[in-house]
Amino acid sequence: MDATAPVRRLTVLYDAECSLCAFLRDWLRRQPQLVPLEPVPAGSEEARRRFPGLDHGTTLEEITVVGDAGQVYRGPAAWVVTLWALREYRPLAHRLSTPSGAWLARGAVLTAAKWRGAQWGGRGYRRADGWTYDPDGGWSHTAPGCADGTCAPR
């Protein structure tokens, strides 16, 4: 990845089974964009195909944004770069990129994480797409049809 490469497109990996995340995805789609944003469900087959080097379990824990030159933004930085891509919110993104603004961005990310965690009730969580959350071990993936050690043919 070239750290100096311009960002021309951003992929926003979001949790498709989280109602807050889906709401924000829809909100982002309605905003005028200076840099195109493409939402892709985190942990999905599409995300794993496009970004094989990512830890996809981590993308389910916190917002992850990937730039077209391979830049990876997580947590508060991902929120800031997403706002930076929006015409009406670029000035806010610049303010949030300052030390005091970063504190506010971190607070927003922690609040969203706490809300999402409350949805799971602090317990393990199994998703229809093969991802399972264990509070002690994080996210793991078993492809559909592979839970018994055999996989369905493609």
Exposed (0-12), middle (13-18) or buried (19+): which is 65, by Cβ within 10 Å? buried
> Residue 29 has which token pair?
């789609």
Could you say which DSSP state residue 33 is in?
B
The domain limits of the chain are 10-120
Residue 130 neighbours by CB distance under 10 Å: 17
Give residue-wise pLDDT tens across range 65-110.
999 999 999 888 898 999 999 999 899 888 888 876 665 666 555 5
Q: Residue by residue, what is the 3-state secondary structure of 90-148?
A: HHHHHHHCCHHHHHHHHHHHHHHHHHHHHHHCCCCEECCCCEEEECCCEEEECCCCCCC
Give residue-wise pLDDT tens across range 24-47.
899 999 999 999 999 999 999 999
Exposed (0-12), middle (13-18) or buried (19+): which is 10, by Cβ within 10 Å? buried
Q: Is 153 a residue whose pLDDT tops 50?
A: no
Is pLDDT larger for residue 61 or for residue 145?
61
In this prediction, residue 2 has a pLDDT band, given cuts at 50, 70 and 90, of low
Note the pLDDT of residue 52: 95
Return mean pLDDT, the chain. Answer: 78
Are 105 and 73 spatial neighbours (Cβ–Cβ below 8 Å)? no
Note the pLDDT of residue 149: 53
Residues 134 and 121: their CA atoms lie apart, in Å, by 12
Are 45 and 56 spatial neighbours (Cβ–Cβ below 8 Å)? no
Note the pLDDT of residue 151: 57
Residue with tokens 């981590």: 58
> Residue 60 has which token pair?
């389910």
